[in-house]
């Protein structure tokens, strides 16, 4: 498939960028990529939530102006935005784990709904901001367990607190866009990405990190819901989508809308399929598959329709599932042997750019 667009380093050279959530898995990758293109990145986030963490391994605080700010604090967000004077904003800071949202529902809503509002409200007084890409999730859709992919204009909602908080944040994004930011010339879009995999993710309750922890320790991996279907994608595919979306919004604010980023629809795959691909690189790895009854409610079947991103932005995924899983496992194997993390990430980006 011919891919018509990829990030334009000339656009990003010396561009002032505010990135929330830069200490997280996706945020660290995005900060690294933007810095490589010459952007001047200011990061707002809490300290890394995992040890090890990709942001610390990449020494993100040396690649950008890293500020430890809790987006639940509106005064701190306002002060950071005011001093950074961003031209482009990427909002990734979030409580991003479904099972954590059951344990801490109020904190999840405070971060994902009010935190998003605090960032957007600070942009009302940010004279240089022209573009804001607000990252939510594929789980914003009211899941009906139907067997076709969700489109951007399908109904939003959520059963678990994480999904509900992200669906609520979509309402906040649309309200601030229509009520305040559109008239100020700020193009605000939401980006809804599927399940992301890639090197450097050590989060709890994520499939491949859990697998790596178990297998590297010689333990049996327990899988609660082996038949759950998700739109898995390598981290660089949605990040490229966010970057290209920002570039396009800068040139044409009328493109401000919601966009799904995910694999080709037929590449949505079960947890079991992903684990069996990952197992190929771990001879002797043991898995115990459950019957789907353990743990709190989670959606069974979820896929995204990505025609809007393809047709409007010229964005398509470049790393198919088999290669994305293999690449993730190989990254971690190399890192465990002492490979330089900067080089591992740079190599993945180079491969992505060359895979047109």
pLDDT-derived band at 1 (thresholds 50, 70, 90) equals: very low
Q: What backbone torsions phi and psi does residue 129 show, to the nearest 5 degrees?
A: -75, 130
- Give this prediction's pTM: 0.96
Mean pLDDT of the chain: 95
Residues 95 and 213: their CA atoms lie apart, in Å, by 22
The per-residue pLDDT for range 105-136, each reduced to its tens digit, is 999 999 999 999 999 999 999 999 999 999 99
Flag whether 24 is in a domain. Answer: yes
The mean per-residue pLDDT over the stretch 63-76 comes to 98
Please check the confidence at residue 2 and state whether its pLDDT lies above 50.
no
The per-residue pLDDT for range 132-188, each reduced to its tens digit, is 999 999 999 999 888 789 999 999 999 999 999 999 999 999 999 999 999 999 999
Place of tokens 């610390």: 56
The mean per-residue pLDDT over the stretch 49-73 comes to 97
The per-residue pLDDT for range 244-285, each reduced to its tens digit, is 999 999 999 999 999 999 998 888 999 999 999 999 988 889
The pLDDT assigned to 266 comes to 85
The mean per-residue pLDDT over the stretch 26-38 comes to 98
The per-residue pLDDT for range 212-227, each reduced to its tens digit, is 999 999 999 999 999 9
Give the gyration radius of the chain's Cα atoms. 19
Flag whether 4 is in a domain. Answer: no
CATH number of the domain where residue 242 is located: 3.40.50.720
The mean per-residue pLDDT over the stretch 39-66 comes to 97
Number of domains in the chain: 1
Task: Write the DSSP assignment of 75-123 as a string of letters.
Answer: HHHHHHHHHH--SEEEE--S---HHHHHH-HHHHHIIIIIHHHHHHHHH
Which two three-digit tokens encode residue 47? 């300290």
- CA trace torsion 163, 345, 89, 315 (10° rounding): -70
What percent of the chain clears pLDDT 90, i.e. is strictly above it? 89
* Segments forming the whole domain that contains residue 122: 14-194+233-263+301-318
Closest to 282 in 3D by CA, of 353, 216, 347: 216
Is residue 213 classed as helix, strand or coil in its secondary structure?
Answer: helix
Flag whether 338 is in a domain. Answer: no
Which two three-digit tokens encode residue 209? 């990190």
Residue 277 near residue 325 (C-beta atoms within 8 A): yes
Flag whether 77 is in a domain. Answer: yes
Flag whether 352 is in a domain. Answer: no
Closest to 138 in 3D by CA, of 24, 18, 301: 301
The total of other beta-carbon atoms located within 10 Å of residue 38's CB is 13
Flag whether 184 is in a domain. Answer: yes
Flag whether 42 is in a domain. Answer: yes
The pLDDT assigned to 4 comes to 55
Residues 262 and 268: their CA atoms lie apart, in Å, by 9
The pLDDT assigned to 327 comes to 97
What are the helix (H) ranges across 98-205? 98-103, 105-109, 115-123, 161-176
The pLDDT assigned to 8 comes to 97
Flag whether 179 is in a domain. Answer: yes
């Amino acid at each position: 498939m011919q891919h018509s667009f990829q990030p334009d380093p000339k656009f990003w050279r010396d561009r002032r960028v505010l990135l929330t959530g830069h200490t997280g898995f996706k945020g660290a990758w995005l900060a690294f990529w933007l810095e490589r293109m010459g952007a001047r990145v200011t990061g707002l986030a809490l300290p890394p939530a995992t040890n090890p963490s990709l942001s610390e391994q990449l020494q993100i605080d040396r690649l950008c102006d890293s500020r430890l700010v809790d987006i639940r604090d509106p005064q701190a967000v306002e002060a950071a935005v005011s001093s950074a004077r961003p031209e482009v904003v990427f909002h990734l800071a979030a409580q991003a784990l479904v099972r954590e949202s059951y344990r801490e529902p109020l904190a999840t809503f405070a971060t994902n709904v009010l935190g998003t509002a605090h960032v957007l409200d600070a942009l009302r007084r940010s004279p240089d901001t022209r573009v804001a890409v607000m990252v939510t999730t594929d789980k914003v859709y009211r899941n009906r367990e139907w067997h076709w992919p969700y489109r951007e204009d399908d109904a939003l909602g959520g059963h678990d607190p994480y999904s509900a908080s992200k669906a609520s944040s979509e309402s906040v994004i649309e309200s601030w866009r229509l009520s305040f930011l559109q008239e100020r010339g700020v193009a605000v879009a939401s980006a809804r990405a599927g399940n992301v995999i890639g090197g450097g993710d050590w989060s709890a309750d994520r499939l491949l990190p859990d697998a790596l922890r178990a297998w590297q320790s010689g333990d049996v991996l327990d899988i609660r819901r082996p038949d759950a279907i998700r739109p898995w994608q390598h981290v660089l595919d949605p990040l490229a989508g966010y970057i290209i979306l920002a570039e396009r919004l800068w040139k044409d604010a009328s493109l401000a809308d919601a966009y799904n980023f995910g694999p080709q629809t037929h590449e949505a795959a079960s947890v079991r399929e992903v684990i069996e691909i990952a197992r190929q690189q771990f001879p002797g790895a043991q898995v115990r598959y459950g019957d789907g009854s353990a743990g709190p409610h989670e959606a069974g079947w979820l896929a995204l329709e990505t025609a809007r991103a393809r047709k409007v932005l010229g964005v398509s995924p470049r790393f198919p599932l088999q290669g994305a899983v293999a690449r993730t496992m190989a990254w971690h194997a190399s890192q465990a042997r002492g490979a330089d993390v900067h080089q591992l990430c740079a190599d993945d980006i180079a491969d992505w750019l060359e895979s047109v």
